[in-house]
Structure formats: C-alpha cells, structure tokens
Amino acid sequence: MTAPTQNRKLLAWVDDVTRLCTPDHVYWCDGSTAEYARFMDQMVASGMATKLSKRPNSYHFRSHASDVARVEDRTYIASRTKDEAGPTNNWVAPEDLKQTMRGLYAGCMQGRTLYVIPFSMGVIGSPIAKIGVQITDSPYVVVNQHIMTRVGTRVLQALGQDGAFIPCLHSVGAPLKPGEQDVAWPCAPIEKKYIAHFPDESLIWSYGSGYGGNALLGKKCLALRIASVIARREGWMAEHMLILRLTSPAGKRYHIAAAFPSACGKTNLAMLRPTIPGWTCECVGDDIAWMKIGPDGRLRAINPEAGFFGVAPGTSYKSNPMAMDTIRENSIFTNCVVTGQGDIWWEDMGVPCEGGTDWKGNPWTPGKGEKGAHPNARFTAPARQCPVICPDWEDPAGVPIDIFIFGGRRTQVMPLVHEALDWDHGVFMGATAASEPTAAALDVKAKLRRDPMAMLPFCGYNVADYWQHWFDMGDKLGAKAPKIFYVNWFRKSPDGKWLWPGFGENGRVLKWMCERTDGKVQGQTTPIGRMPADGEFDLTGLPMSKAEWDELMRVDLGAFKAELTDLDDYMAQFGSRLPARMRAQVASYKQRLGD
Ligand code: O2Y
Ligand code: MN
C-alpha cells in the first residue's frame, strides 16, 4: 500500500518501525465507515468479535483473562532522571528501557499487519488539539480508535509535509510463526508488558497488552501522561477531569470540570440528569480535559476524545440513563455477557438476564456464583450519540471553566461538599484528595489512598512539580481562576447507611456551587473550608431529616487531626521538591484544625 502522506518524519518513523517489527503487511487507516465495517467483518470471521443482533452495528470482544485492565506496575515514565518522574511513578533510564523494548519489538509483528492510525485529540484545527499517530498490530485497537479519537485522512492533511505528531508505538507482542493459528485475543505475559512513556521526546511505546488504557494510546498515555508534560512546558493543563455544562432556570450557563479517581462515577456525573426543577446538564466530556487560557483570560476546556470508554458493570437506566441510550448502537463491548438473544449484559444493568456466555466464553446463568461480566468490562461508544451531549462539545475554542471539583470515596470524615478558601487552598484540597482503600481495611490505622487531582497513575512527571504548575496557573488566571470545591458522595451514617442519594440529586450540590460562584449565597467558614450556611442548600422535596443532613455535613475536627500523620508522611515523600506554597498550605491547615 502506498503511503497517503508526504510527511517526512512520519514516513521515516513508519519505515523504521516496519524494519524493526517485520510485519507481513502495512496498512494506512483512512478512518472511513467502510474501513470500520471491513475490520469488524474480518474480526467476526476470525472469531475475535461477535456481532450483536440486538444492537445495530455493535460488537462484543472477549479479552485474554490476563489482559483485563491498565497495568500500573508495568507503566513507566522514562524521563532523563528518576527525580523528574518523582516518587509516584515507575522509572527506568530511557536508554535502558529502549534497549529492553527494542529486543521485544524485534520481529514482534511477524504474521500480522502493521496498521498506521493518524489521529487527532480534539477537533482538527483547534488551538488546543494535538495530532498523534499510533502504529499497532491490533485491529481491535483500530476500531476502538475510530470511536475514541478522530482518525484518518483529514489528520494527514492537517499534518502536511512537516507537521509534528506524537508517535505512539503499540504491539500486542504475539508474533505468529508461518502457518501458526492466531488466538482470539493475542497478548504477551505480564512480565513482558511495558507501557512506556519518554516525556523528553514526547514518545510512547506500549508492548504486550491489547486492553484499554494500555493499548488505546491516545487516551491515558498521550492525553494525560505525555500531555501533562507538554502542558507544563507550554503553560496549559491536561487533567483527568470530566467537563459538563449546567444551565440554571434563568438560562445562565456554568461550566464545571471535575476530577475523581478511576471508577468513582465520573461518567455518571458527566451525564447528570438534575432532579431540581429547571436545571439542566449537558456533557462535554467524561474523562479528560485539556485547558488553555483564552484571549479573554479565562480557562477554556476541550474534551480531546471523541468517544466514551466507560465501565459497563453498574451502568443502568437508574445510574446513567444517558449512557444507556448512548450505547444503543454503533458501540463496542468488551468482556460482557453475550445473552442467548444476541445482546450484551452485565451485573447491575437493571434488566433481567436468562443466561448466555460469560466474559471468559463459558456458558453462564444468573446465580452461577461467578460474575458474568468482568468488573472492568467496558463499552466504547461515540460521544455524539449521547442524548445530552453539549451542542458546543466540539467548539475548537473550548468552554470557559467556572468551577473545579475534586473528590474521593470516603465513607467517613469528609462532608458532602466544601469550598476552598482561595486558589492555593483548592490546590491543597486536590493534592490531598483521598479514598479509603477497601471497606474491609476500614479502621483508624488503615492508610488512605491519596490520589492527587485523580492524576496519580497519569501524571507524566514529578507530582510536586505538577502542584507547582497548578500554583503557577492560579497566578496566571488571577481573579479569573475557577472556584474550587471538594465533594464526597459516599459518606455513610454510623450504622452503615448511605447518607446521600447521589445520581440526579448531585445537581443540588452543583447548584450550591453555582450560587457561591455568583455570590448569591455566602456559605460559612469552617477550619476545612467554606460550607453551606443554614438554609442555603436546596433540599426541597428530598426525604432527608435535619439530623441526617447534619451528619452528612458534620466536620469532626478530631477525625481530621487523626489524619495529619498520614498527611505528613505523604508530603514527605516529595522532599525538597515540595513547593513552598504547599508547605504553607499544610501549615495553615494544621493551624486551622488547632493542631
Ligand atoms: O482498564 C482500562 O484500561 C481502562 S481505564 C479508564 C478508562 C476510561 C476512563 N478512565 C479510565 C481510568 O482508569 O481512569
Ligand atoms: Mn479515567
């Protein structure tokens, strides 16, 4: 196949990789619907995919049982020095890692086709967008990238002869000997998997896994780990945040970006149906926000992705009706149950299932004692199919952000909502965001799992430097900086009952934030931040007693103080790189708690 580009660097790179990986064929993806259909037909014919008769143009895939999620232990930030990667990332010297991986890549595409996928993160031509090119030997990756990014010839046109792109090399790491029969999900054993980032040259090398974030390299690898490094250098932000637009009954629009650790309901919040009359919500993105300061001095955000790669189990018409409608057609499902009727099913989908074939390919009926879908089963669906996709979700200029939200999963201690006293305090709140490890480990000595700005697995450099970047962005934004809040949807009463109903009721929390942003309500200052004053928070129609509300919002200073040792240990790991402004925040936090 002749290359449909004259971009010199791209041609040279594809040549180099072809020589190293020795595929049988090279194919340049054009991103067309015909190409997508052809790939799906081929994968159905080879037994890799199942066409779902109940959902138009939708397919199911089963991964290898060992290749079901991101592999953080095998994810590396190969910056020049270990200190630049920081204490929270795995580091190997770039040349050492390259040597190891070159050994693995040598001949790794034998018997396979090398696909070249030119893709854009963000609408082509947006001042915030970036172009990547992924080389892969996985047709499953090709069809997923069709949905998750903007793929094809238009990207090559935008690239021209000399345009820059981020090279993303991927192989499933399973060469085929002549005559050898392929398997449904080729991949390499765990000790040969590497998800490698070379931030100094904006380069991604991934080997051995065909799953999700390990293989769809535009997502976590490019849009977060590599982009966070570029963003720091260029003065913008690449964050693990959903973006939504909330509109008040008066028609005023608020744009909110929110960071929560993985599997904390980000997709659900991004597609919120507020229960409070007159308020509406539209989704701009469910996972990643790229934000630049616009000509008006405000922070403008785009969703660099074009699709959703959502967790399937737990998604239902109760938890997320908009996601359920999004995945009615043109979707890919991975590691779900395929029912006898030719549909997909997963645990807590809210519909009965008579049985079918489970994610491992075994016959399955409910009550078998094993889960039918893998807990990290996924749907891949085009964002444009979301019934509440924001009409401006592809505005190249992005949407202006009014509010940042951080959060974690805490059954105790953290109230439903509190507001930062100022930008630096907000950075502290994001930096110290934490979840409880597991319900079983819930005792006073159990360590909290800190996940700074929900970026722990995704920050491509030293987290202490990342915090400094946040402080610097606050200085640049000045009075136009978004207000910062912290939420906890997951608090329980002493007798173990959820205190907050969540789902559509979360709109009430967002409403209070908007009213704070407008100065319509004043809140009250507490040692941990500003909280709703009596009567400010709209509880109309909610069956919640005053005692339950008080418990939900209770600030037990003793419990906060008990976590200070953990906080000190956490901050200490960053040594002298910890920004002075973060030290100052820790000191004033302790002072406010009366320590
Ligand atoms: O397991 C994977 O590879 C998927 S991880 C993922 C996918 C979509 C959105 N967020 C995440 C995450 O881990 O934060
Ligand atoms: Mn995520």
Nearest atom in ligand 1 to 310's CA: 8
Evaluate: CB of 305 within 6 angstroms of ligand 1: no
Ligand nearest to the CA of 381: 1
Tell me which of 173-182, 190-199, 263-272 is least confident. Answer: 263-272
Pocket lining: 262 vs ligand 1, CB cutoff 6 Å: yes
Residue nearest to atom 12 of ligand 1 (CA): 262
- The ligand whose atoms approach the alpha carbon of 241 most closely is 2
How many helices (H) does the chain have, and how many strands (E)?
17, 31
Worst-scoring range by mean pLDDT, 101-115, 157-171, 252-266, 277-291? Answer: 252-266
What stretch of H or E contains 141? helix 139-148
Verify whether ligand 1 is closer than 6 Å to residue 287 (CB atom).
yes
| Strands, sheet with 59-61, edge to edge from the N-terminal-most edge strand | 49-51, 59-61, 332-334, 378-382, 307-311
**446 C-alpha to center of ligand 1: Å?**
26
Shortest-distance Cα residue to atom 5 of ligand 1: 213
- Pocket flag, ligand 1, residue 307 (CB < 6 Å): no
Fold matches, 8-48+71-234 and 307-385 = no
Q: Is 212 in the pocket of ligand 1 (CB under 6 A)?
A: yes
Which tens digit of pLDDT belongs to each residue from 267-318?
A: 999 999 999 999 999 999 999 999 999 999 999 999 999 999 999 999 999 9
How many CB atoms within 10 Å of residue 501?
14
Q: Which atom of ligand 1 is nearest to the CA of 267?
A: 9
Structure confidence by residue, pLDDT tens digits, 363-404? 999 988 999 999 999 999 999 999 999 999 999 999 999 999
Cα 581 to Cα 23, 67, 201: the distances in Å are 52, 41, 30
Q: Does domain 8-48+71-234 have CATH number 3.30.70.20?
A: no
* CATH of 239-306+394-593 given 3.10.180.10, 3.90.228.20, 3.30.420.40, 3.30.450.20: 3.90.228.20
pLDDT at 442 > cutoff 80:
no
Q: Which residues surround ligand 2, an ion (CB under 5 A)?
A: 287
Which residue type occupies 388? V
| Ligand 1 atom 13 nearest Cα | 262
Q: Which residue, chain included where needed, has tokens 């239902």?
A: 316
Which are the catalytic amino acids? 264
What average pLDDT score do residues 502-523 get?
Answer: 98
pLDDT of residue 141: 98
Q: Which of 64, 225, 287 to mutate to test the pocket of ligand 1 (most atoms within 8 A of CB)?
A: 287
Q: Which CATH superfamily is domain 307-385 in?
A: Phosphoenolpyruvate Carboxykinase, domain 2 (2.170.8.10)
Instruction: Determine whether the shortest distance from the Cβ of 268 to ligand 1 is under 6 A.
Output: no
Distance from residue 312's CA to the centre of ligand 2 (Å): 14
Measured CA to CA, the distance from residue 479 to residue 252 in angstroms comes to 20
Nearest alpha carbon, ligand 1 atom 11: 262
CA distance readout (Å), 149 to 26, 130, 143, 302, 441? 21, 11, 10, 13, 39
Estimate the crossing angle of helix 423-431 against helix 463-477, to 10 degrees.
160
The closest ligand to the CA of 311 turns out to be 1
Q: Is 407 in the pocket of ligand 1 (CB under 6 A)?
A: no
Q: Where are the domains of the chain?
A: 8-48+71-234, 239-306+394-593, 307-385
Please give the number of the atom of ligand 1 that sits closest to the Cα of 309.
8
* Nearest-atom index, ligand 1, CA of 216: 3
Asked if pLDDT for residue 140 goes beyond 80, the answer is yes
**CB 380 less than 6 A from any atom of ligand 1:** no
Mean pLDDT of the chain: 96
> Of all atoms in ligand 1, which is nearest to the CA of residue 376?
1
Place of tokens 């904006």: 202
The C-alpha torsion from 567 through 572 and 578 to 584, rounded to 10°, is 50
Reply yes or no on whether the pLDDT at 443 is more than 90.
no
Residue having the nearest C-alpha atom to atom 14 of ligand 1: 262
Q: pLDDT confidence of 438, banded at 50, 70, 90?
A: low
Which of 111, 109, 114, 105 minimizes the C-alpha distance to 206?
105
The answer, yes or no, to whether any atom of ligand 1 lies below 6 A from the CB of 230, is: no
Phi, psi of 256 (to 5 degrees): -125, 135
